[in-house]
Amino acid sequence: MSEDTKEKVVFTNGCFDVLHPGHLSLLERAKALGTKLVVGINSDRSVASIKGPERPVFSQEHRKRMLLALAPVDEVHIFEELTPEKLICHINPNVLVKGGDWPTNEIIGANFVLERGGEVHSLPLLEGFSSSAVMKTMRKEEPKTTSDAGISVGSIYRRSLAEHQSVFDSLANDCQESVESGAAILTETLDSGNKILICGNGGSAADAQHIAAEFVGRYERERIALPAIALTTDTSALTALSNDYDFERVFARQVDALAVPGDCLIAISTSGTSPNVVAAVMAARKKGCKILGMTGARGKKLASLSDACVMVPSERTARIQEAHITIAHIWCEMVDHHFADYQEAFDAAGSSNV
């Protein structure tokens, strides 16, 4: 807590990409909970990782200046990571605040603040205002439709392939940094002797066990076996946990049992909001694991909870899933090469000592 007992520091964070009345309302109510309001904002690079390459609208310095011009705001700090966890530990606030779309059990830093006797609040949002809604109004976006009524089989075929190609073109142009960041987390995890846990629902569950099999076996090159566990395959555990707890805890409970500090959880959710995947992420963070997210264009919640996250630039589940398995194969190839090269260097060093 603050050394000055008369000062009650409140912390909140966000992208604050496009300031609107909803932001001002939240900041005013946050300030009312203490005597000093500190705001953490995502860097430009961090915003792009969470919201896509077209964001932010305003640079981090402009966003900082606009926030400091508001009466409730006393300090603004820019953080590079996707989450404000390090900044929260540095600020050590008495009160932690997020908007009402974040339940308290999903707020980054909540455990840190509560363990020190602080408060955590999820404040209701001002109805009718959100950055996404403002952006849609500015761009005059029309509602999208995926209806196939009246479309021929041939047209569906061509449209689907065209969509696929468009998504992969965007993936190649905009997502290389996040894919490479994910690969770095995987190799660092495995280099340190830790393991990879993977979870997801439906098609993402199938991807989870596919990815685990590639690590335990091999992708294309011969190398050492690597520890990876899909949390989607043990039917006894899945049914027992769903029955005894609830389906939201089906992955989190397994993380509680299996994860140790330094492990990595690959969390797969095309929407980015799957409750059981988010619960697993929070359990893994509490355990000291790295989080590697895989989601779609609207998956900012999962991205905001991850150490690295690939947001496939599509809102259509099929296209997102097609990209996810391709990204997973790229990670497997990068990991194969890393460990195959390491093994070759090790073998060469050993033979030279004979």
For 205, residues 6+ apart whose C-beta sits below 8 A from its C-beta are 199, 230, 232
**CB contact at 8 A, 308 and 181:** yes
pLDDT digits (tens, 9 = 90+) for 21-46: 999 999 999 999 999 999 999 999 99
Residue among 213, 234, 216 nearest 224 (CA):
216
Distances (CA, A) of 261 to 270, 284, 293: 26, 9, 18
- Looking at residue 340, what is its pLDDT? 82
CA distance 227 to 194: 8
pTM of the model: 0.87
First to last CA, the chain: 60
Render each residue's pLDDT in the chain as its tens digit; 354 residues. 445 568 999 999 999 988 999 999 999 999 999 999 999 999 999 999 998 888 899 999 999 999 999 999 999 999 999 999 999 999 999 999 999 999 999 999 999 999 999 999 999 998 877 777 677 676 665 555 555 555 666 799 999 999 999 999 999 999 999 999 999 999 999 999 999 999 999 999 999 999 999 999 999 998 999 999 999 999 999 999 999 999 999 999 999 999 999 999 999 999 999 999 999 999 999 999 999 999 999 999 999 999 999 999 999 999 999 999 999 999 999 999 999 866 655 555 555 555
